[in-house]
């Protein structure tokens, strides 16, 4: 009984302001998820071109930049709509603060999108000779400079690495949310890109060679496996921070987001892993596509949980 | 010159005079706070006591909010104050994610981040911050911590072993100090939060009632909306009459 009179064990907040709640919500999850697809298809495209002949994947040259272009525009749109002052987004370019990873990331992502746009125009102009008609100057310039595509591609792959991982640096700079302060976040971003990129390309791989599609299945299987293992490590192993421990202890106890986390893990990681493995033997394309859909859904759910849970902790 | 703040929690009686003075001086909108006083009950009946902890921006020398701000809206003044330029702020909330003390809020009137500035505008005119002036027991002590003869420096030297900062493990080097604080008062994980202020439950949030710029679409339409422009406290009060507080997650 005597312990109940000790201040340190019997301290109760009796008056305070409401906790701010979740400030970065699902809009930011969409942002990260779409960016994973946008950069992931570039990694996978380069990997496949390195491993196979271009004829094995006839539509990859124009569809890869199209997918990346659409995903990156979703990413930028959701970045914009999350701002409370969306028209001031321009300040990032007119008043940049270079210690901020938000600034550095915005500049890199914009450059990345610009290069992807060039690839998309060249790829589409080459794939569709009638595109734009004979008088269209843009497609004409694109066709005349078709070789630029291959020259840009190595630089684009190199740029895709920081564009993928800069969100982890934003999280590292978000020093109030200790759950995000893990070095594993950088690799999680890379695995997410490989997961999302391979899943997205599976949908356009119908006309590809079996070997190329097997490579996609292999990357998806590896990515979900290693990402799952890293999440489990972060989820169950001890953090060296009391705030991150408090957040995880709450989720472990079945608190809010526990169910969403495990649904995401099952849908996005465990099931796609087995489906990906089975594809190596059965070569069942339908199951592989199903695995790709589940991986994209599960990735969204898990990222959503990981983004929100540390924001529920009171900071003062 | 480096301005600093010290609160002697042994003197604070939780009158919230500083909180009100801050609200009035800076026209802080409803549902937001630059400075607040938290009450914590310690011990069990009949051996209990209540502690009062004023909480505000710590004006860190190594401020995470300044570092993460993408447009330098948060910046240092020459006197060490971490100031905010709301005209430049894009409302990304990065600073809210970075501040380990939860001292930054999104102003529902301007849709920009805001926080305590140690009343920089008053200091510029040679006045003390509003909360310091309002404190009836002089628990708030403010001054130049680089001047060995200032009141705050003498106070720190006098209470050397008992001076604390919040979350020193964050290495933010706050210029806001406490005397008479303990783990139970300064560490948010060392006390329980029961219904309404609980650690994780769906606490009662004030929705930003009347905030015309609250919705995503409204943020885009706000500059063209004419009469639907930014709200002030009067319109917030008007809207609040019909609004009910509700349980939900999300604060902005």
Q: What is the DSSP letter of A267?
A: I
Non-local (6+) Cβ contacts of A227 within 8 A are A188, A191, A192, A195, A269
Q: What CA–CA distance (Å, rounded) separates B184 from B197?
A: 16
Tell me the mean pLDDT in the region A286-313: 94
Tell me the mean pLDDT in the region B116-136: 96
Instruction: Write phi, then psi, for A87 (nearest 5 degrees).
Output: -70, -15
Q: Is A204 exposed, middle or buried (0-12, 13-18, 19+ CB in 10 A)?
A: middle
Q: What CA–CA distance (Å, rounded) separates B102 from B107?
A: 14
pLDDT tens profile B26-82? 999 877 899 999 999 888 888 888 999 999 999 999 999 999 999 999 999 999 999
Which pTM value belongs to this model? 0.89
Say what percent of chain B tops pLDDT 90.
63
Decide which of B238 and A291 is more confident: A291
ipTM value = 0.91
pLDDT tens profile A17-66? 777 778 899 999 999 999 999 999 999 999 999 999 999 999 999 999 99
Q: Do A40 and A196 touch, CB atoms closer than 8 A?
A: yes
Asked if the Cβ–Cβ distance from B203 to A18 is below 8 Å, we say: yes
pLDDT surpasses 80 at B251: no
Task: List the single residue in B93, B111, B203 with the smallest CB-CB distance to A23.
Answer: B93
pLDDT surpasses 70 at B8: yes
Bridge-based pairing of strands A11-15 and B246-247 is unpaired
Q: Residues 103-162, chain B: which have Cβ within 8 Å of A?
A: 103, 105-106, 111-112
B47 contacts chain A (CB < 8 A): yes
Q: What is the DSSP letter of A307?
A: H
Closest chain B residue by Cα to residue A95: B71
Asked if the Cβ–Cβ distance from B98 to A174 is below 8 Å, we say: yes
Q: Is the peptide bond before A213 cis (omega within 30 degrees of 0)?
A: no
Tally of helices (H runs) and strands (E runs) in chain B = 9, 13
Q: Measure Cα distances from A281 to A56, A195, A275, A288, B88 in Å.
A: 20, 20, 10, 12, 58
Write down the mean pLDDT value for chain A: 92
Q: What CA–CA distance (Å, rounded) separates A270 from A266?
A: 5
Q: Do B100 and B55 touch, CB atoms closer than 8 A?
A: no
Bridge-based pairing of strands A11-15 and B36-44 is antiparallel
B164 contacts chain A (CB < 8 A): no
Say what percent of chain A tops pLDDT 90.
76
pLDDT tens profile A212-262? 999 999 999 999 999 999 999 988 886 668 888 888 888 888 877 899 999
Q: Do B106 and A126 touch, CB atoms closer than 8 A?
A: no
pLDDT tens profile B159-205? 988 999 999 999 999 999 999 998 888 988 888 777 554 444 444 44
Decide which of A13 and A266 is more confident: A266
Asked if the Cβ–Cβ distance from B97 to A176 is below 8 Å, we say: yes
Q: What CA–CA distance (Å, rounded) separates B207 from B35?
A: 20
Of the listed ranges A9-18, A120-129, B103-112, the one predicted with least confidence = A9-18
Write down how long chain B is: 252
pLDDT surpasses 90 at B232: no
Asked if the Cβ–Cβ distance from B90 to A8 is below 8 Å, we say: no
């Amino acid at each position: 009984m005597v312990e109940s009179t000790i201040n340190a064990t019997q301290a109760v907040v009796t008056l305070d302001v409401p906790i701010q709640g979740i400030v970065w919500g699902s809009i930011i999850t969409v942002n990260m998820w779409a960016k994973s697809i946008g950069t992931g298809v570039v990694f996978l495209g380069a990997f496949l071109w390195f491993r196979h002949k271009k004829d094995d994947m006839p539509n990859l040259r124009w569809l890869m930049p199209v997918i990346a272009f659409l995903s990156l525009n979703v990413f930028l749109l959701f970045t914009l709509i999350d701002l409370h002052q969306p028209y001031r987004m321009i300040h990032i370019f007119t008043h940049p603060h270079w210690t901020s990873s938000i600034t550095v990331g915005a500049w890199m992502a914009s450059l990345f999108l610009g290069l992807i746009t060039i690839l998309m125009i060249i790829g589409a102009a080459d794939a569709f000779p009638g595109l734009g008609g004979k008088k269209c100057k843009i497609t004409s310039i694109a066709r005349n400079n078709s070789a630029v595509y291959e020259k840009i591609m190595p630089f684009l792959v190199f740029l895709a690495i920081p564009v993928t991982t800069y969100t982890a640096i934003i999280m590292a700079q978000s020093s109030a949310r200790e759950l995000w302060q893990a070095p594993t976040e950088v690799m999680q971003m890379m695995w997410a890109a490989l997961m999302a990129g391979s899943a997205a390309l599976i949908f356009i791989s119908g006309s590809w060679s079996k070997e190329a599609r097997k490579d996609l299945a292999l990357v998806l299987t590896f990515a979900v496996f290693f990402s799952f293992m890293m999440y489990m490590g972060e989820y169950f192993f001890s953090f060296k921070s009391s705030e991150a421990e408090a957040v995880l202890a709450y989720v472990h106890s079945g608190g809010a987001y526990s169910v969403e986390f495990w649904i995401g893990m099952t849908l996005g990681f465990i099931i796609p892993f087995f489906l990906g493995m089975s594809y190596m033997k059965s070569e069942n394309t339908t199951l592989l596509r199903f695995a790709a859909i589940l991986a994209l859904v599960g990735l969204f759910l898990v990222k959503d949980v990981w983004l929100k849970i540390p924001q529920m902790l009171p900071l003062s | 010159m480096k301005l600093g703040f010290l609160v002697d929690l042994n003197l604070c009686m939780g009158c919230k005079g500083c909180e009100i003075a801050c609200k009035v001086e800076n026209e802080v909108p409803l549902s937001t706070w630059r400075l607040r006083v938290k009450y914590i009950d310690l011990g069990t009946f009949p051996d209990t006591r209540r502690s009062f902890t004023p909480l505000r921006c710590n004006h860190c020398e190594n401020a995470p909010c300044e570092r993460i701000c993408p447009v330098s809206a948060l910046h240092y003044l020459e006197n060490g104050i971490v100031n905010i330029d709301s005209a430049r702020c894009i409302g990304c909330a990065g600073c809210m994610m970075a501040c380990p003390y939860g001292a930054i809020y999104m102003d529902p009137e301007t849709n920009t981040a805001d926080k305590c500035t140690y009343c920089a505008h008053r200091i510029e005119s040679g006045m003390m911050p509003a909360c310091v002036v309002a404190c009836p027991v002089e628990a708030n002590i403010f001054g130049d911590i680089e001047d060995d003869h200032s009141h705050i420096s003498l106070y720190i030297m006098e209470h050397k072993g008992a001076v604390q900062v919040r979350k020193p493990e964050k290495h933010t080097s706050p210029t806001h100090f406490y005397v008479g604080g303990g783990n139970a008062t300064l560490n948010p994980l060392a006390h329980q939060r029961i219904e309404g202020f609980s650690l994780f439950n769906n606490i009662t949030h004030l929705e930003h009632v009347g905030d015309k710029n609250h919705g995503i679409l409204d943020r885009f339409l706000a500059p063209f909306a004419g009469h639907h422009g930014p709200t002030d406290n009067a319109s917030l009060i008007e809207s609040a009459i019909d609004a009910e507080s509700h349980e939900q997650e999300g604060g902005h």
